Each structure stands twice: as C-alpha cells, then as structure tokens.
Amino acid sequence: MSFFARIKDAIFGKAKAAPSSSQATATPSPSTATGSEIPSTAAAPAAPPQVDVEAILTEMAAAQSQKLNWRTSIVDLMKLVGLDSSLENRRELARELGYTGDMSDTATMNIWLRKQVMRKLAEHGGKVPPELKD
C-alpha cells in the first residue's frame, strides 16, 4: 500500500468509525406507492458527506501526549497517523506524489509534501481548509 493511501485511510477510516451527527442514519419507511405511482420528484440519493480532515486531525492530535504540529510539519502529520516519518519514507512519499525538486533539500521537500498531501486528501473527498493546501 502506498504511503498516501495509508495517510488517507488513517484519516478517512477515523471518520467512518465515528460518523458525525449531521449524517443521516434513519432508514426510510417503505412506500405504499406501486409502479407508476412513484412520484417523479423523488430525491436522488445524497452524495456522501465530505470527511472533515482538519477536525479529525485536530481530534487525533488532542489525544496524543506528544505535541504534534501537523498543520505545518509533514513529519508530525505522518507521526500523528501512525507512520514512520523517516527521511527515506518521506522521500518515497515525495516520489509517489510526483515531487521533481531536489530531495537533498529536505526543508523544501517537506513543505511541498505537506501541502501536496492536503491537496490530495481534498481530491479524494476530504474537506480541507484553503490555508492547509497553500
């Protein structure tokens, strides 16, 4: 499994484990309409709600004894979701996400990685505030 997939699964899996109160949980009652009696204005199934990435990561960070600054640090973000944040693993994540810069310039790579991970989480259905993607 790719590093990004593990990050995404750690966050999105946390969302599935604890559905928010805004998600509909009621089961619709059976309709008495038959065949052509079904109203043409029936609502289409709602799209699944976006996963609030910021809220989940904030909650995960609050449960940690170690202070992790996941908002600005890819190292802390990886630690928060339970991944080894070693330089080699960050380089592997960078390759996976298409980083074309100098991997010896770890500060620049790390900044790019954190932003790219947030952008990818948004692309996969995560609700990520703009300031975390820029």
What value does the mean pLDDT of the chain take?
Answer: 84
| Helix, strand, coil tally for the chain in percent (to 5) | 50, 5, 45
Is pLDDT of 71 > 70? yes
Q: What pLDDT, in 10s, does the model give residues 22-62? A: 444 444 444 444 555 555 555 555 556 689 999 999 999 99
Judge whether residue 76 has pLDDT over 90.
yes
Give the distance from CA 30 to its chain's centroid.
Answer: 35
Placement of tokens 């449960």 in the chain? 63
> CA torsion sign, 86 to 108 to 74 to 67?
positive
Average pLDDT over residues 78-84: 96
Q: Quote the crossing angle between the two packed helices 106-123 and 87-97, to the nearest 10°.
A: 50
- What pairs with residue 127 in β-bridges? 52
pLDDT tens by residue, 96-112: 999 999 999 999 999 99
- Domains of the chain, by residue range, sit at 1-12+50-125
Write down the pLDDT at residue 21: 42
Q: Tokens standing for 1? A: 């499994």
Residue type at position 123 = E
